[in-house]
Amino acid sequence: MVPLVNSKSRLAILLSQLKDFSNPDAKIEQYPMDSEIGAEMLWNAYFLGDIEGKIIGDLGCGTGILGIGALLLGAKVVYMVDIDPEAVSICKENLEQVPEKEKGMLFNMPISDFRKNVETVIQNPPFGTKEKHADREFLLKAFSLAKVVYSFHKATSRGFVEKISQEHGFAITHYCEFKFPIKASMLFHTKPIFKTKVGCWRMERRQ
């Protein structure tokens, strides 16, 4: 599969043009993926051979930034899964902007109901601040589906991610840390934008 973009900056620009949540749900922590951060993660994954020509699972896809980015980088197919019908509707609208949109397949369901095996999981799950252990559920599902997992979590969750990956036969091979910008989208937000330290882990199943 030939990538449709040839630079990280171009990828970030295209991702920034996608539609965001119109009515984000605080309970399931619907914070939009930053286009620059998403592009950097995807670009790194592409150069590690985890995107182009691969079957990808985007768990908790939201509006589809990560999954659509994977399509732009030449993924064979991307399964995009989200429990929220409104998010899936926005994701479907965003997919219309992709030349090879037929390679993006949408599933409106809890991730626990998703059964297809994939080669790489890319996910920005809830951090578990509103619903305890929400991030754990996503990691366990990702481990059951794929050999390689890219997952975003709060940087303070480093010990938790290391422990759970080891317990389930995965080794952490790469780690990047970002200052994740969160726009004021909930009633309790008091600043237009605030930043929190977020890490992205690449985990690979041990042979």
pLDDT of 16-59, one tens digit each? 999 986 665 555 555 778 999 999 999 999 999 999 999 999 99
In the chain, where are the structural domains located?
8-205
Backbone conformation region of residue 8, classed left if phi is above 0, alpha if psi is from -120 to 50, else beta: alpha
CATH superfamily of 8-205: Vaccinia Virus protein VP39 (3.40.50.150)
Q: Quote the distance between the C-alpha of residue 66 and its chain's center.
A: 5
pLDDT computed for residue 29 by the predictor: 54
What gap in Å lies between CA 199 and CA 177, rounded to an integer? 4
pLDDT computed for residue 195 by the predictor: 81
Percentage, residues of the chain above pLDDT 90: 74
Instruction: Answer whether residue 180 shows pLDDT above 90.
Output: no
Instruction: Answer whether residue 100 shows pLDDT above 90.
Output: no
pLDDT computed for residue 189 by the predictor: 47
Percentage, residues of the chain above pLDDT 70: 85
pLDDT computed for residue 188 by the predictor: 46
What gap in Å lies between CA 27 and CA 50, rounded to an integer? 31
Separation in Å, CA 108 to CA 88, 150, 152, 154, 177: 6, 21, 21, 26, 30
